[in-house]
C-alpha cells in the first residue's frame, strides 16, 4: 500500500499529541517539546537543532545560551544517545486521529506509521480526473474514483461512494430498526429516544446498588419503586456511604502516620541494640550465653546500658557540684581580699584628704590675716601722710615671709605625695 507519489511529508513532531507523561528534563527550553534532534552547547545545555538555529539567526544581540546566558560558544552534535532514545520512546497519538486513526505509537515510529501503515492518511484520489483525497484504507483495488455521489434511497442525501455502504447499513437516519424490547419498528433516529422510554424495556430498580433484586418492565417498575423499602432507605445509605468514605480516608491517613512512627521506633530500637554491644562488652558476653532468649537479653542489655548511663551521669553531676563549690569559695576569698585592699586604700585617701584640708585652711588663714592687716593699714593711712609713707615700706618685710610660707607648703605637698 505505497502511495502513488514518492514524496512523503515529514510529520511535524512538535504538533503531535504526547500521550505518555515525560520528564521535564527531556523538554527543549525553547519549544517546550521533547527534544527533536538535540544538540549541545559548551555549557552542557541541550536544545533542538532547529530551535537553536532559529534562536542563533534571529536574535538581534550577540547569541547567548537561552538557559544560562553563557557567551557565544561551540555547538556539539554528540548528545548522549540515551537522551534521544528517551525522547523517541515517548508515546504519541497518530497525527490523523481526526480521520479516525486510534493508533498510539512511540514518537520514533510515528513517521514510519504515517508513511507505511496508517490507513487513515488522506492520499490523492487515484483517478486523474479527481483532485480530492481519500483515506488509504478506502483505496479501491482498481483505480476507480470513489468520490462520485450516490443518492441514498431512504433519506435522499447525497453520499460519496466511499461512505455509501456504511451509510446504508448503519448511519442513515431513515433506516428501519426494531426495538429489542417491544419489537416496534421505527426509524433509526427515533430509536434512541424510544429506548429511554420504551414501556416494555426491562430495567433494574433504582435501589439495585443497595441490593434490590427487582428487574421488571418500566411500567411496573414505577409502582415497585413507590414501595421499595430499599429505595426508601437510600438517603440513609447515602449518608452511611459518605461517612464510611470519610472514615476510610481518615484511617488511611492514620495508617500512614502509624507507619512513620513504627519506622522511627524501629530505628530507635536498632540504635539501642547496637550501642550496648559496642559500648558494653560484659553485656555482650551475657548475650552470647543466652542466644535463645534474644528478646529478654536485649531488654536486660538495654536496662544495664541505661543504668550505667544513669550512674555515669550521676558521677558527672557530683563532680560538677564539687567544682562549683570550689569555684564559689575561691571567688569569695578573692572578693574579701579585694575588699580589704580597697578599705586600706580608702583609709589612705581619707588621711590624704584630711591633711589637704588642713593645709588649705592653714593657707587661707595667713591670707585672711594679711587682708585684715592691709585693711587696718589703709584705715590708719588716711589719718596722717607720714604714717602712710612709713606704711608704704611696711609691706616689704611681709613679702619674704609669704615666700617662705609658699616654700613650706610646696615641701609639704611633696611629702604628702610620697605618703600616698
Ligand atoms: Zn526545541
Ligand atoms: Zn547554557
Ligand atoms: Zn495512524
Ligand atoms: Zn476521486
Ligand atoms: Zn440515507
Ligand atoms: Zn420498545
Ligand atoms: Zn426495588
The rounded Å distance from CA 201 to ligand 6 centre is 6
C-alpha cell at 364: 587661707
The rounded Å distance from CA 61 to ligand 6 centre is 74
Ligand that comes closest to the CA of residue 33: 1
DSSP letters of 213-262? --EEEHHHHHHHHHH-HHHHTHHHHHHHHHHHHHHHHHHHHHHHHHHHHH
Q: Output the pLDDT for position 382.
A: 55
Q: Output the pLDDT for position 152.
A: 85
Cβ atoms of 148 and 160 closer than 8 Å = yes
The rounded Å distance from CA 172 to ligand 4 centre is 23
Annotated domain spans of the chain:
13-140, 176-232, 240-317
Q: Output the pLDDT for position 285.
A: 47
Ligand that comes closest to the CA of residue 149: 4
Ligand that comes closest to the CA of residue 159: 5
Here the contacts of 281-289 (C-beta below 8 Å, separation 24 or greater) are none
The domains spanning 13-140 and 176-232 adopt the same CATH topology? yes
The rounded Å distance from CA 193 to ligand 6 centre is 10
Q: Output the pLDDT for position 292.
A: 53
Ligand that comes closest to the CA of residue 177: 6
Q: Output the pLDDT for position 279.
A: 52
Query: Domain 13-140 has what CATH class?
Result: alpha beta
Cβ atoms of 134 and 162 closer than 8 Å = yes
Q: Output the pLDDT for position 340.
A: 94
The rounded Å distance from CA 140 to ligand 4 centre is 11
The rounded Å distance from CA 200 to ligand 6 centre is 6
Ligand that comes closest to the CA of residue 63: 2
Distance CA 159, CA 165 (A): 10
Bridge partners, 106 (sequence order): 91
Ligand that comes closest to the CA of residue 133: 4
Q: Output the pLDDT for position 351.
A: 94
The rounded Å distance from CA 184 to ligand 6 centre is 6
C-alpha cell at 365: 588663714
Cβ atoms of 225 and 216 closer than 8 Å = no
The rounded Å distance from CA 36 to ligand 2 centre is 18
Cβ atoms of 177 and 185 closer than 8 Å = yes
Distance CA 272, CA 30 (A): 55
The rounded Å distance from CA 147 to ligand 5 centre is 17
Cβ atoms of 125 and 112 closer than 8 Å = no
Rg of the Cα atoms in the chain:
57
Q: Does domain 176-232 have CATH number 3.30.70.20?
A: no
Distance CA 110, CA 106 (A): 7
Q: What is the pLDDT along the chain (420 residues), one digit of tens a residue?
A: 444 444 567 889 889 999 988 888 899 999 999 999 999 998 889 999 999 998 888 876 788 888 888 888 888 998 889 999 999 999 999 999 988 899 999 999 999 999 989 989 988 888 888 888 888 888 877 777 778 888 888 888 888 877 888 888 888 888 888 888 788 888 888 888 888 888 788 888 888 888 888 888 887 888 888 888 888 888 999 999 999 999 999 999 999 999 999 999 999 999 888 775 555 544 444 445 445 556 667 677 788 888 999 999 999 999 999 999 999 999 999 999 999 999 999 999 999 999 999 999 888 887 777 777 777 777 766 544 444 444 444 444 444 444 444 444 444 444 444 444
Surrounding ion ligand 3 within 5 Å at CB are 94, 96, 101, 103, 118
The rounded Å distance from CA 47 to ligand 2 centre is 10
The rounded Å distance from CA 117 to ligand 3 centre is 7
The rounded Å distance from CA 119 to ligand 5 centre is 25
Ligand that comes closest to the CA of residue 41: 2
Amino acid at each position: 500500500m505505497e502511495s502513488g507519489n514518492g514524496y512523503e511529508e515529514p510529520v511535524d513532531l512538535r504538533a503531535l499529541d504526547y500521550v505518555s507523561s515525560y520528564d521535564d528534563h527531556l523538554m527543549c527550553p525553547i519549544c517546550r517539546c521533547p527534544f527533536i534532534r538535540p544538540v549541545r552547547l559548551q555549557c552542557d545545555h541541550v536544545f533542538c537543532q532547529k530551535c537553536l538555529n532559529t534562536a542563533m539567526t534571529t536574535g538581534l544581540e550577540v547569541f547567548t545560551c537561552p538557559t544560562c546566558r553563557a557567551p557565544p560558544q561551540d555547538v556539539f552534535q554528540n548528545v548522549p544517545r540515551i537522551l534521544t532514545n528517551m525522547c523517541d520512546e515517548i508515546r504519541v497519538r497518530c497525527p490523523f486521529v481526526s480521520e479516525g486513526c486510534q493508533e498510539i505509537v512511540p514518537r520514533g515510529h510515528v513517521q514510519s506509521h504515517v508513511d507505511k501503515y496508517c490507513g487513515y492518511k488522506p492520499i490523492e484520489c487515484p483517478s486523474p480526473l479527481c483532485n480530492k483525497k481519500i483515506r488509504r484504507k478506502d483505496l479501491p483495488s482498481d483505480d476507480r474514483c470513489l468520490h462520485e455521489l450516490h443518492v441514498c434511497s431512504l433519506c435522499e442525501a447525497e453520499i460519496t461512494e466511499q461512505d455509501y455502504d456504511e451509510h446504508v447499513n448503519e448511519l442513515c437516519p431513515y433506516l428501519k430498526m426494531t426495538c429489542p424490547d417491544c419489537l416496534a419498528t421505527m426509524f433509526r433516529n427515533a430509536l434512541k429516544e424510544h429506548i429511554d422510554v420504551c414501556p416494555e424495556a426491562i430495567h433494574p430498580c433504582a435501589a439495585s446498588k443497595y441490593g434490590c433484586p427487582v428487574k421488571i418492565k418500566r411500567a411496573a417498575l414505577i409502582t415497585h419503586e413507590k414501595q421499595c423499602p430499599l429505595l426508601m432507605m437510600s438517603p440513609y445509605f447515602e449518608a452511611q456511604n459518605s461517612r464510611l468514605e470519610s472514615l476510610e480516608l481518615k484511617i488511611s491517613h492514620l495508617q500512614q502516620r502509624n507507619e512513620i512512627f513504627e519506622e522511627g521506633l524501629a530505628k530507635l530500637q536498632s540504635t539501642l541494640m547496637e550501642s550496648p554491644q559496642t559500648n558494653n562488652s560484659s553485656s555482650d558476653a551475657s548475650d552470647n550465653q543466652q542466644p535463645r532468649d534474644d528478646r529478654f537479653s536485649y531488654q536486660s542489655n538495654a536496662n544495664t546500658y541505661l543504668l550505667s548511663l544513669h550512674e555515669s551521669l550521676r558521677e558527672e553531676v557530683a563532680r560538677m557540684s564539687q567544682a562549683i563549690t570550689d569555684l564559689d569559695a575561691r571567688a569569695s576569698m578573692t572578693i574579701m581580699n579585694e575588699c580589704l585592699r580597697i578599705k586600706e586604700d580608702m583609709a589612705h585617701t581619707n588621711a590624704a584628704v584630711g591633711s589637704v584640708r588642713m593645709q588649705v585652711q592653714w593657707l587661707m588663714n595667713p591670707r585672711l590675716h594679711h587682708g585684715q592687716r592691709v585693711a587696718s593699714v589703709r584705715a590708719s593711712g588716711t589719718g596722717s601722710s607720714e604714717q602712710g609713707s612709713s606704711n608704704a615700706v611696711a609691706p616689704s618685710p611681709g613679702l619674704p615671709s609669704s615666700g617662705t610660707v609658699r616654700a613650706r607648703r610646696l615641701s609639704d605637698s611633696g611629702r604628702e605625695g610620697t605618703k600616698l
